[in-house]
Structure 1
Amino acid sequence: MLRSRLRPISLNRLQIITQHLTMSSHSPSEAEVLLAKSGCAGVITMNRPKVLNALNLNMVQHIYKQLKIWEEDPDIFLVIIKGSGGKAFCAGGDIIAVTNAGKSGDKFAQDFFRQEYILNNAIGTCKKPYVALIDGITMGGGVGLSVHGQFRVASEKTLFAMPETAIGLFPDVGGGYFLPRLPGNLGLYIGLTGFRLRGRDVQKAGIATHFVDSEKIPSLEKDLTSLKGPSKKYVAEVLDTYHTKSAAGDEKPFILAENLDKINSLFTANSVEELFENLKKDGSPFAQQQLQTLSKMSPTSLKMTFRQLKNGASLTLQEVLTMEYRLSQACMRGHDFYEGVRAVLIDKDQNPKWKPERLEDVTNEYLDSCFASLGSNDLKL
């Protein structure tokens, strides 16, 4: 039932968020990401299966460099990106390293976000077809590696989420661009609540462009790399064929179908406070569940995310990433990000003490400072 899948913070959800944050401590090496030519394609394989292919700065740098080389390579007609290990595409970014750097004032906290967002933009502006095989857990940094490309292929193993408001952050990596462009208020709902989408629902939500059974993905990849003189049209035809062949379960309704009207009406608001009032006045089981979920999130993150997505609806991807870099640095200067990571990942007491703890104490003046230009330190794309 839908209701059971909308419980505010289940153990499973906390495990997922923890996976999204977990990083290994071994030293970086090029083997963390495999870069290879296969037929007509350049293939990127994130190769850290023990930590669900979590993205670190070393990987960002290698992927960006190779992507730019392949864009100019006349023998490469498309780019494919995937994860190794069978469980995850990419479960997120190097949050522990960022946390440690931010606490100590280390420049890494600037460099990681800056270079990650530059890579997100390179994917969004890639001159060649870009196919992300999101066959497994795809969160945070993994969303940034996939959602801005031309093609995103989900499978029954895909688990998509942006759970950042639960750790005092915001749905970054271009979340301010793609989330407001989902139908109705779906993106705002996902961004604020961290709701998880699975399998075919990732495609039905408009996040994935295609759905292909996991067992068919190796064959799909082979057919893509074997294309003769491929163009975006031919790549789309191959993907469409596999999508059509993967029809099992297609008759099931979208997981949020019965609540879309409520999402579109209740999440239509001019402020987070107004949104909370809408939910309280409605009083339905669905509305009560959303209040329970949102009341556990960082008030600062909720307000930051609300403005981020409202602004992002009318901005270019480049403008959004510039805005998000400013927000990332505001989070590094603030309290809630470090407290969220402590509560969810380090001490694991799942009891963050947000500051401020009330929505009304997160002032517009403070938010204005978070969105303000960083001058010469602004992200330049």
Structure 2
Amino acid sequence: MPFSNDNQADALVQIGRVGTLGRIHLNRPRALNSLTLEMVRIIVGALDAFEIDDSIAAVLITGEGDRAFCAGGDIRALHDEGRQNPAEARTFLREEYRLNARIKRFPKPYIAFMDLITMGGGVGLSAHGSHRIVTERTRLAMPETGIGFFPDIGATWLLSRGRAGRGKVETGTFLALSGEQIGGADAIHAGLADALVPSSALSDLADNLSQLPATADGADVSAIIGAYVSTVEPGPVEQNAAEIDEAFAFDTVEEIFAALGASETAFAGKTLATLRTRSPTSLKLALRLVRLARDDARLEDALEREYAAAAGILAGHDFYEGVRTAIIDKGQKPQWQPSTLAEVTEESLARYFEPAPERLFS
């Protein structure tokens, strides 16, 4: 959803304002608006400026093109940097994670249009905001276990929060391990979004948001959004919530596999088949991180832990193997090391919980 800003036509991120609305527009459509370090820094600068500008009531972030809001970080670049210059790769992650925390703490309404593909780092740019809008075209996922990584960008915090007052809440665990791609209804069910607005109404909604008084607050933003919200039917994940809550309540991946294997439903069979394609290390690491995040008082605590784990991942094997087979030598089956859950021991996991070379937050 571009806005008039001709002098930034080629910018990776277009920054501007429409009325009282600060605008951040990701502008890398051929790469599905995947994030680079330069883009992260531009967004941080924009938030700094919008925060101290008393004429800005709220901020809206959107993505260019008809395919994605943001497909995540540029994993090919991270793959190449991680092998050649791990310190530089960590710089990207460090600044991205700090941006995630900045969004969470941003003092003005922060609105994200999570239209189309919203994955990985795209979830970090949106799901930490105060007003998270999905559409009938949203395709959201944290697919990292399929490339030898784990759900980061504060996702272990998001996926561990659950759904207050609804009993067992293992939807986040399911999404973290499986990398399942979900639609807007299930994004709301999982606590990763707040409302579904038809994609055809986003432009009109943005126009109305730009007319907010400069003194508007989150309730004013919610009132405007509320006029556009569509009711949604339960998505596939919500429809299988009872089985997910039962199978994913365990604290070991082996027990989760056993629970799924004991079920005779098609959902359980499909889920187990998916999990068996994921990196065994990533599965165990993701589960451990999500469980630990449940006790965190702050997003920053989870991000600090994720950063240490990411530093360990960049020094290992599976991430490079996962990216190679996903985007470089497409179609090949990844050869994970270790290749089985049994080989992923407590000792081998310990490296991911060692302090990172740098801290994120003081």
For the aligned pair, the TM-score class normalised by the smaller chain equals over 0.9
2:166 aligned residue: none
Cα distance in structure 2, aligned partners of 1:285 and 1:254: 16
2:212 aligned residue: 227
For residues 224-251 of structure 1, what are the alpha-carbon distances to aligned partners after superposition, in whole Å with 9 as ceiling and x for unaligned? 11012311110011111111xx34xx3x
Is it true that 1:151 corresponds to 2:131 in the alignment?
Answer: yes
| 1:185 maps to amino acid | E
Cα distance in structure 2, aligned partners of 1:258 and 1:201: 9
1:318 is matched with which residue: 290, 294, 300?
300
Is it true that 1:290 corresponds to 2:275 in the alignment?
Answer: no
Cα distance in structure 1, aligned partners of 2:198 and 2:302: 33
1:218 is matched with which residue: 168, 193, 203?
203
Cα distance in structure 2, aligned partners of 1:262 and 1:233: 36
- Going from structure 1 to structure 2, the CA distance change for 1:30 and 1:110 (only over 3 Å counts) comes to farther
Cα distance in structure 2, aligned partners of 1:292 and 1:357: 15
Following superposition, the deviation at residue 283 of structure 1 comes to 3.7
TM-score by length of 1: 0.88
For residues 248-279 of structure 1, what are the alpha-carbon distances to aligned partners after superposition, in whole Å with 9 as ceiling and x for unaligned? xx3x3322233211100111112111111212
| 1:195 maps to amino acid | E
Contact 1:134-1:153 within 8 A present in 2 as well: yes
SS across alignment from 1:355 = coil
Following superposition, the deviation at residue 371 of structure 1 comes to 1.2
Cα distance in structure 2, aligned partners of 1:253 and 1:119: 32
TM-score by length of 2: 0.93
Where does structure 2 lack aligned partners over 5 or more consecutive residues? 1-8, 164-168
1:203 is matched with which residue: 177, 188, 202?
188
Contact 1:137-1:160 within 8 A present in 2 as well: yes
Cα distance in structure 1, aligned partners of 2:248 and 2:89: 33
1:142 aligned residue: 122
**Structural RMSD (CA):** 1.5
1:268 aligned residue: 249
2:227 aligned residue: 241
| 2:170 maps to amino acid | N
96-105 or 302-311, larger mean C-alpha shift: 96-105
Q: What is the correspondence of 1:34-53 to structure 2 with a 5 Å cutoff?
A: 34-53=14-33
Cα distance in structure 1, aligned partners of 2:307 and 2:238: 34
2:153 aligned residue: 173
1:76 aligned residue: 56
Contact 1:113-1:325 within 8 A present in 2 as well: yes
Where does structure 1 lack aligned partners over 5 or more consecutive residues? 1-28
Contact 1:30-1:59 within 8 A present in 2 as well: no
SS across alignment from 1:197 = coil
For residues 77-115 of structure 1, what are the alpha-carbon distances to aligned partners after superposition, in whole Å with 9 as ceiling and x for unaligned? 111100011321101111111111111134221111001
Aligned residues: 347
1:19 aligned residue: none
Following superposition, the deviation at residue 328 of structure 1 comes to 0.8
1:194 aligned residue: 179
2:342 is matched with which residue: 360, 366, 380?
360
1:20 aligned residue: none
| 2:96 maps to amino acid | E
2:354 aligned residue: 372
Identity rate, percent: 40
Contact 1:132-1:149 within 8 A present in 2 as well: yes
36-45 or 100-109, larger mean C-alpha shift: 100-109
SS across alignment from 1:170 = coil
For residues 130-184 of structure 1, what are the alpha-carbon distances to aligned partners after superposition, in whole Å with 9 as ceiling and x for unaligned? 0001111100110000000101001111110111000000011001110111331
330-339 or 61-70, larger mean C-alpha shift: 61-70
